[in-house]
Amino acid sequence: MASGDIASIVKVLIRLLAGIHYSDRLDSIKVPLVRSLKKIIRKMSGRDSLEQSDEAKAAKLAEKLQNERGESYYRSLLQTCLWMVGAKVTPGKPESRGRLDLEVACGSLTYVMELNITENAKGAARAARAGMDRIHRRGYGGASATPVLVSLAFGKAERNIVGCIFKRDGRETPLRIEAGTCLTPPPSPGDGLR
């Protein structure tokens, strides 16, 4: 973290997330949540059984709630992991034009992180780009002299990081992530990031 090697940081995070047992992930809430929503709909409607449209509404609402929890799930995991390596982590840091997902200070570097959820790796580039655009549009990290801007995309299907774009020293770099590994473009001559 202190050296600013974002590709290595993302590799470690990918390995950590890959080690989480599948039943501990946010998908495990969907079935009980749908059951609970169906009970609530039955009680509110005064019926013993639900119509097919009510069943679909319950499943759709559960999906919406699950999606909304997705980002906070990953933010909490990242916050814990980064805090454990000695970084100062501020989740949901309010700034003048919004609230950024994570601010992480380690050594002389300050990371401004924006997280996005996408269905799968196919949407990784678009989700990572949306996060970086949000950072720029809202001016996140403006209070830091030289922030490292990082946009991470998490795939629901992969249950891991599927995309990343970072900007350091005025240079924006997308990371290519394939099947749990993180590959960077080849460094250009005189690249001071390595």
**HEC assignment per residue over the chain:** CCCCCHHHHHHHHHHHHHCCCHHHCHHHHHHHHHHHHHHHHHHHHCCCCCCHHHHHHHHHHHHHHHHHHHHHHHHHHHHHHHHHCCCEEEEEEEECCEEEEEEEEECCEEEEEEEEEECCHHHHHHHHHHHHHHHHHHCCCCCCCCEEEEEEEEECCCCEEEEEEEEECCEEEEEEEECCEEECCCCCCCCCCC
Do residue 143 and residue 170 come from a single domain?
Answer: yes
pLDDT in tens, 78-97: 888 888 888 999 998 888 88
Domain of 93, CATH number, reads 3.40.1350
49 and 102 share one domain: no
Kindly state whether residues 14 and 36 are assigned to the same domain. Answer: no
Which pTM does this prediction carry?
Answer: 0.73
Same domain, 88 and 174: yes
The residue that leads in pLDDT, 41 or 134, is: 134
Same domain, 84 and 168: yes
Residues 119 and 151 in one domain: yes
Residue 83 in domain: yes
Same domain flag for 16 and 56? no
pLDDT of amino acid 58: 64
Shared-domain flag, residues 107 and 12: yes
Same domain, 41 and 130: no
